[in-house]
Amino acid sequence: MKQFKAESKRLLDLMINSIYTNKEIFLRELISNASDAIDKLYYRSLTDKSVNTNRADLKINIDIDKEARELVISDNGCGMNEHELETNLGTIAKSGSLAFKEENEKKEDIDIIGQFGVGFYSAFMVSDKVTVESKSIDSDVAYRWSSKGADGYTIEQCDKQDVGTKIILHIKEDTEDENYSEFLEEYKIESLVKKYSDYISYPILMEVTHKHKKEGSENKYEDVKEIETLNSMVPIWKKPKSKVSEEEYNSFYMEKFYDFEKPSKIIHTSVEGQCSYNALLFIPSHLPFDFYTKEYEKGLQLYSNGVLIMEKCEELLPDYFSFVKGLVDSQDLSLNISREMLQNDRHLRIIARNIENKIKSELENMLRNNREDYEKLFDTFGIQLKFGVYDNYGANKDKLKDLLLFYSSKEKKQVTLKEYIERMSEGQDVIYYAAGETIDKIDMLPQVELVKDKGYEILYLKDNVDEFVLQVLMEYEGKKFQNVSAEDVDLDTDEEKENLKKANEESKALFNVMMEAIKGEVQEIRFTHRLKNHPVCLTSEGAISIEMQKVLNQMPNDRKVDAKKVLEINENHKITEKLKELYSNDTEELKKYTKILYSQARLIEGLTIDNPTEITNLICDMMSK
Ligand code: ADP
C-alpha cells in the first residue's frame, strides 16, 4: 500500500467526509477528465503518424451495475502509464492546486468544493472504493490503481486490451441523510450528464432501458435496452447566448481555466462572414497567480469546429490583453494546421484582429456603464494596458489611451484623460501631472501645492511606467502633458514672470556662491514662484524627470542616468532674506545653508543624500548656535 502525499491526503479527507450537498458534480469531473484524455489522444494523432485514431470512434461510456453497486466511466483517450497513475492520482499537482490550498486556509470546506473543480478526488464523495484501470497510448501494459480512501492506494498490472481509462466507482451505501443509490439509476445519470456535461464534444453513451409494447398485445410491455447518446455535444460556445446561464458560463470557466473565482467579465461572440468563428472569452477577477512568472503563457484555446487543435494560441491575443482567457472555434481553420502555418494564416489574422477589437470595445463599455467594475479590473490589469501603450514605441497608443485611468488630485479617484480634458479650466492648455511613489507622497510634493492652489487638476502617477506612458502619448486631444516638477511649468502672469526674471538676475552673484557648495549636483540655482509654503524644491530640465531617473536606475543596466536638476528656492519664503543676508556677511555660512537646502530638496523628491553625516553635523551645528 502506498501513501498519498500530505496535501493530497488533506483534499481526499475533505472529499470522503464531505458534507457538501452538491456531491453529484463528481460525474462532471470524471467526464471532463475523460474528454480531456480523448482530446490529448486526438491532438497527438494530428501530428504523430504512428497514432491512428478515427474521430468517429472516440467516445465515453457509462455503465451501471446495480447489483455490484458499480458505476463505470470509460474512455478511449490517451490513458496513463504506471508513472502517470502514480503522479496524477497520487498527488495534486495541477495548476489550480496552489491557489486552492491558499483558499483552503481561509474558507469553509463547503465553499471550496463549490468554487473549484476538484477533479478526480471528487469521486470519493460518493464512492467507498475507486479503481482506475488504464493503458497508455505509449505502453503495452495496463495498470490498475485502486484506493479505498485515506489509507493509501495500490498499483498493479492488469489486463486491458484497449488504450484508454476505465474508472470503476463502488458507490457508498445509503445513509440516513444521503441517498447514494440514486447514482446507480439510469434516469439520474442521464439527467446529470444533460445538466453538466451536455457540451462535451464526444458522445457519452449509456445503455438505457425503455418500455416497449409487446408485439401483438394491447397492454403488455417489455424492457428493451438500447445504447443512447446522452449529450447533445453542442459546446457551450456554440449555443446561443440566451440558452446559457451565467452559472454555466462561470462553472465552465472555473473548470476549464483552473480558477477558483468566477470571471469578472464574460465575452461571448459569434461572427459570420468572410471568416466565421465563435469566441468565448473571460477576464479573470484576479491576477493569475503565475502571471508574472516565466511559466505564464498568453493565448486562447483554438478549436476547429469543436475539435481542440491548440491549447495556447498566442497569435490570438496582443500582449496587452494577455490576461484574457478563453477560446476560439472556427470552421475555417484546418485541423492539421501547424504552428508555423498558423502564424501566416489569413483567417487567424482576421480573427485575432476582431478579437482584439471586441475585447477593447467590451472594456470601453464597461468603463462607460459599469465604472466600479472597470476600476477594479484596472487595478488588477491596468499596468498591462499601460505597457501596451508604451511598447513598440507607442504603436498601439491610440487604441489604448482611452482605457487608461490615473488618480486625480481633484476627484480623489481614478479618472480618464478624456474626463480630465472635459473638466479643464478656461485658459488651461496643458495636462498637469506629478510623479512619485505613492499618492500621499505625491500629494505632499511642494511643487504640487501651488498648481493645486491655482485650481488645476493634477494626475498623480505612481506606477513606474506612468511617466513613460505619457511621454509616448505626447499629448491628448491636442493638450500636452506637463510635469509640475519640470522647469518649464508656466503658471505666472507676464508681469510675475518679468518680476521673477529680474529677481533672478539681481541675485546672480548669490547663486554663484551657492553653486560652489553643490558643484556638479545641479544645473542651476534660481528663485521660483511655484512654491507656496515650502522653501525649496528640485525640478528637472529636459526629457528625463527625477522620477524617471529613479525608475531607470532601478533597472539592471550599467549606465546610470541623471536628470538635469535645478534647485529652486521660493522667493517669497523667509529663507530668501536669510540667504541674502549671509551673502553680504558670511559666504562660508551661506555654503553650509546651501548644502542643507539641497539635501532637503533631495529628500522631498525621494532621492537619497550621498553625505548624510556631513549634513546632520551641519544641522546640529546650527541647532546648537
Ligand atoms: P485535473 O483534471 O484538474 O488536472 P484531476 O485530479 O481531475 O485534475 O486529474 C489529475 C490528472 O490525472 C489529469 O490532469 C490527467 O493527467 C489525469 N487523468 C485523470 N483522468 C484521466 C483519464 N480519464 N485519462 C487520462 N488521464 C486522466
Q: Is 119 in the pocket of ligand 1 (CB under 6 A)?
A: yes
Task: Reply yes or no on whether the pLDDT at 78 is more than 80.
Answer: yes
Q: Ligand 1 centre and the CA of 166: distance in Å? A: 12
For the chain, give the longest Cα–Cα distance: 130
- Say yes or no: CB of residue 90 within 6 Å of ligand 1: no
- Interval 211-222 mean pLDDT: 81
Tell me the per-residue pLDDT of 418-449, one tens digit each, with 9 for 90 and over: 999 999 988 899 999 999 999 999 999 888 98
Most ligand 1 atoms within 8 A of CB, residue of 41, 88, 115 to mutate: 88
CA-based nearest residue to 277, from 309, 251, 232: 309
Residues 6 or more apart whose CB falls under 8 angstroms from that of 247 comprise none
Q: What is the pLDDT of residues 130-167, one digit of tens each?
A: 999 999 999 999 999 999 988 889 999 999 999 999 99
Q: Is the CB of 165 under 6 A from ligand 1?
A: yes
Question: Position of cell 472504493?
Answer: 129
Q: Is 126 in the pocket of ligand 1 (CB under 6 A)?
A: no
- CA 100 to ligand 1 centroid distance, Å: 17
Residue 168, classified by CB atoms within 10 Å of its CB into exposed (0-12), middle (13-18) or buried (19+), is: buried
Q: Kindly tell me if the per-residue pLDDT of 272 is higher than 60.
A: yes
Choosing from 15, 33, 58, 144 the residue with most ligand 1 atoms within 8 A of its CB, the one to mutate for a pocket test is 33
Instruction: Give mean pLDDT, residues 15-23.
Output: 73
Confidence of residue 19 (pLDDT cuts 50, 70, 90): low
Q: N- to C-terminal Cα distance for the chain?
A: 84
CA distance 579 to 568: 13
CA distance linking residue 165 with residue 148, whole number of Å:
19
Task: Report how far ligand 1's centroid is from the alpha carbon of 87 (Å).
Answer: 10
Tabulate helix, strand, coil % of the chain (nearest 5): 45, 20, 35
**C-alpha of residue 85 to centroid of ligand 1, in Å:** 9
- Asked whether the beta carbons of 409 and 460 are under 8 A apart, the reply is yes
CA of 30 to the centre of ligand 1 (A): 8
How high is the mean pLDDT of the chain?
88
In this structure, the residue with its CA closest to atom 4 of ligand 1 is 94
| 33 Cβ below 6 A of ligand 1 | yes
User: Is residue 111 over pLDDT 60?
Assistant: no
| CB of 342 closer than 6 angstroms to any ligand 1 atom | no
pLDDT digits over 273-288, tens only? 888 999 999 999 998 8
Distance CA 149, CA 143 (A): 19
User: How far away, in angstroms, is 84 Cα from ligand 1 center?
Assistant: 9
Question: Residue 92: what pLDDT?
Answer: 55
Cβ–ligand 1 distance for 164 under 6 Å, the answer no
Ligand 1 geometric centre to CA of 323 (Å): 25
Q: Which three cell numbers mark 89? A: 492520482
Give pLDDT, residue 218: 76
* Residue 31 alpha carbon to ligand 1 centre in Å: 10
Query: If you measure from the C-alpha of residue 147 to the centroid of ligand 1, how many angstroms do you get, rounded to a whole number?
Result: 16
What does the pLDDT read at residue 113? 47
| Percent with pLDDT over 90 in the chain | 60
pLDDT of residue 543: 80
State if residue 41 touches ligand 1 by the CB under 6 angstroms criterion.
Answer: no
**Mean pLDDT for the stretch of residues 556-575:** 86
Q: What is the pLDDT at residue 558?
A: 66
Residue 335 confidence class, pLDDT cut points 50, 70, 90: low
How many whole angstroms from 95 Cα to the centroid of ligand 1?
Answer: 12
> Is any ligand 1 atom within 6 A of the Cβ of residue 53?
no
Q: Which atom of ligand 1 is nearest to the CA of 96?
A: 3
DSSP lists the bridge partners of residue 2 as 153
**401 with 390: CB under 8 angstroms?**
no
Ligand 1 contact via 507 beta carbon (within 6 Å): no
- The CA distance from 565 to 554, in Å, is 19
Ligand 1, atom 16: closest residue by C-alpha: 88
CA of 88 to the centre of ligand 1 (A): 6
Which of ligand 1's atoms lies nearest the C-alpha of 32? 2
Give the closest residue (by CA) to ligand 1 atom 21: 33
Confidence of residue 114 (pLDDT cuts 50, 70, 90): very low
- 120 CA distance to ligand 1 middle (Å): 7
Residue nearest (by alpha carbon) to ligand 1 atom 10: 88
pLDDT-derived band at 107 (thresholds 50, 70, 90) equals very low
Whether the CB of 263 sits within 6 Å of ligand 1: no
The response to whether residue 25 sits with its C-beta less than 6 Å from ligand 1 reads no
- When comparing pLDDT for 480 and 7, which is higher? 480
Percent of the chain with pLDDT over 70: 93
pLDDT score of 400 more than 80:
yes
pLDDT band at 469 (very low <50, low <70, confident <90, very high): very high
In the reported structure, the alpha carbon of residue 19 is separated from the centroid of ligand 1 by a whole-number distance in angstroms of 24
Q: Which residue has the higher pLDDT, 493 or 352?
A: 352
Residues 339-375 have pLDDT tens digits of 667 777 888 999 999 999 999 999 999 999 999 999 9
Give the nearest ligand 1 atom to 121 CA.
6
Which mutation among 27, 36, 97, 130 tests ligand 1's pocket best, with the greatest number of atoms within 8 A of CB?
A: 36
Distance 33 CA to ligand 1 centre (A): 5
80 alpha carbon to ligand 1 midpoint, in Å?
Answer: 9
Mean pLDDT confidence for 87-100: 57
What's the pLDDT at 172?
Answer: 96
Q: For residue 75, which atom of ligand 1 is closest to its CA?
A: 23
Q: Parallel, antiparallel, or unpaired for β 307-313 and 300-304?
A: antiparallel
Q: Which of 56-70, 106-120, 263-277, 403-417 has the lowest mean pLDDT?
A: 106-120
Question: Which pLDDT band, with edges at 50, 70 and 90, does 91 fall under?
Answer: low
Ligand 1 center to 302 CA (angstroms): 21
pLDDT given at position 115:
42
Q: Which amino acid is at 388?
A: G
148-154 contact pairs (CB < 8 A, 24+): 149/12, 149/16, 149/124, 150/4, 150/9, 150/12, 150/13, 150/16, 151/1, 152/1, 152/2, 152/3, 152/4, 153/1, 153/2, 153/4, 153/89, 153/90, 154/1, 154/2
pLDDT at 339: 65
- More confident: 117 or 319: 319
- Calculate how far, in angstroms, residue 592's C-alpha sits from the geometric centre of ligand 1: 73
pLDDT over threshold 70, residue 20: no
Q: Is the CB of 566 under 6 A from ligand 1?
A: no
Question: Does position 488 have pLDDT exceeding 80, yes or no?
Answer: no
The conformational region for residue 542 under phi > 0 = left, psi -120 to 50 = alpha, else beta, is: left
Check pocket membership of 75 for ligand 1, CB cut-off 6 A: yes
Binding site membership of 132 for ligand 1 (Cβ less than 6 Å)? no
